[in-house]
Chains A and B, each alone.
Chain A
Amino acid sequence: MMERLTRVKFTNLDKVMYPRLRVTKTQVIEHYIKLAPRMLEFLRGRIVVTTRFPDGIDGEGFYEKDTPRGTPEWVETFKRYSETADREINYIICNDLDTLLWLANLAALEIHIALSKAEAYEEPDIVLFDLDPERPAGFSEAAEVALSLKDKLNALGFKVFVKTSGKKGLHVTMPIERGYSFHQTREFVHQFGRHLSRENPMVVSERSQSQEPGKIYIDYLQNSSGRTMICPYSLRAEEGATVSTPLHWGELKGLDPEKLNVFSVSKRKKDPWDGFWEERQRLEVG
């Protein structure tokens, strides 16, 4: 019966992936099944990079860019030279439910996506403000900064979206029209970071300051060719089986990101990022 629904052969379903919450691979796969329609909006046509934990998050994890041995022939791939690896890498493109489930079965708990489509690799279609709090600052401080960033961007006519990173941080994003370079999106984010850091002493905009205690670093460098962002609704390899969860802006205040996990997120009725791709914008400022 299962064969009629998917080409993926599930294995080791009882294996515990998150020991503290006793989450098994079955539950991981179920999460990805339920969120597949929302995730595929962001996965299609993009290279994905995964973090795999064959023995659960307490075992060894590894970052995987290349197609692993034994990749079924129906999985779509995209060859590209990687500067960091100094060789050609055969990236996975996750265009359909089966590929997503195949990844889930490989214990690819974290699924990261490029900020551009494979076919236009150097032209980002997502701008990412990666808000990364350094202790003792945490999620609530990052949320405060995200809200003031939103006000700034809204005032200039931009429509922006927000999601938890699944850890302590937040991702503020905006879909953009094609034709800009990563250099342009990176500078765009960097400018806003600088601007905000002048107004708010909690915000820092430079990499050299990213480790300063109590600060929120707006990581603009993520807007680079070959870099990736955790996919909306991907699990994280964190003790609490947290999920990078799209939010309504109104939800941010007082939110506990730990509660957005493998058990709860698939039960959220509405997708705050519904209609994301209908909001592609131009980067010109007034």
Chain B
Amino acid sequence: MAMKAKSPTRPIWSGRISLGLVNIPVRLYTMMRDESFSFRYVRKDDACPLKYQRVCTLDKEVVDWEDVARGYEVRKGEFVVFSNEELEALRPSSDGRINIDKFVPFASVDRIYFDKSYILAPDKSEDAYGLLLSALRELGMAAVGKFTMRTKEYPALVHEYRDALVLTTLRYSYEVVDPRDMEELKGVLEPSDEELDLATKIIENLSGDFDIAEYRDEFRDRVEELVEKKMQGETFVVEEPKGEEVKELMEALQETLKQLQAK
């Protein structure tokens, strides 16, 4: 497996960075990829792939999508029901803009609020894009604002990273727990000077440069290795065609090839 994630080929959103009167058309590309191994559920004996069905918990009948609504459980077993249309009406719709409210020193933003990052690419706006990029780099500043993708609104940061503008969505303050509120952390003691001295020496001895490439998901590697092995030995799905069938297909094929050559 390569150490770098593959570049995306299609934007997932396009619009404009909107700074008051100035607009910079951009395309948003995925930057984070989930590379954990994914399996499909299949039947044990013959690897027949399984699918999910929505089943009524009372009469066990399968329910069609068109009969599905969303319920919010207000008390145990008691729901208020929303139709899809009702929910759609509530959702924000994208105005195609990343609306910038202000600029802040990038280093001053607490990284704990960083959620997901996306690459912003210029959309026939190389000049304006380059200008914003250089100005942010020069000043070490980031733009703060919000934008709507699909049907969700996100607070976001636009900042420079490796010669590109990167958009990082942020978590809301009420989505992050403050460790100072944890009871267990209130009894942590200050060490003595000798203890602290020893501890810092150990740390210094073990210090080095940070390199994320030193880490890999070893479970994934092991599964991948086993997939390779299984592919040589026992695969389930690809049934070897039976003799009779193949013979028929081959005869038909020979006939067709003859006809096509004659043309």
- Enumerate chain A interface residues (CB-CB to B < 8 A): 1-2, 5-6, 10-14, 26, 29-30, 33-34, 36-37, 40, 60, 87-88, 97
Contacts and interface: CB of A to CB of B under 8 A. Distances in A.
B242 A37 contact: no
- What 10 pairs between A and B have smallest CB-CB spacing? A33-B252, A13-B241, A26-B245, A5-B253, A37-B259, A11-B238, A33-B256, A36-B256, A30-B252, A13-B245
B260 A5 contact: no
Contacts of A60: 51
A87 B8 CA distance: 14
Contacts of A34: 252, 255-256
Interface of B: 10, 51, 237-239, 241-242, 245-246, 248-250, 252-257, 259-260, 263
Contacts of B239: 11-14
A10 B250 CA distance: 12
A5 B242 contact: no
B237 A5 contact: no
Given A26-B249, A37-B260, A97-B260, A11 B237 contact: yes
27 contacts: A1-B250, A2-B246, A5-B253, A5-B254, A6-B253, A10-B249, A11-B237, A12-B237, A13-B239, A13-B241, A14-B245, A26-B241, A26-B248, A26-B249, A29-B249, A30-B248, A33-B253, A34-B256, A36-B260, A37-B256, A37-B259, A40-B260, A60-B51, A87-B10, A88-B10, A97-B256, A97-B260
Contacts of B249: 2, 10, 26, 29-30, 33
A39 B238 CA distance: 28
B242 A14 contact: yes
A30 B242 CA distance: 15
B257 A97 contact: yes
**Residue from B248, B253, B257 whose CB has the most chain A CB atoms within 10 Å:** B253
Contact of A13 (B10, B51, B242, B260): B242
A87 B250 CA distance: 40
A37 B250 CA distance: 16
Contacts of B256: 33-34, 36-37, 97
B262 to A, nearest CB: 9
A1 B246 CA distance: 10
A1 B247 CA distance: 10
A5 B250 contact: yes
Contacts of B260: 36-37, 40, 97
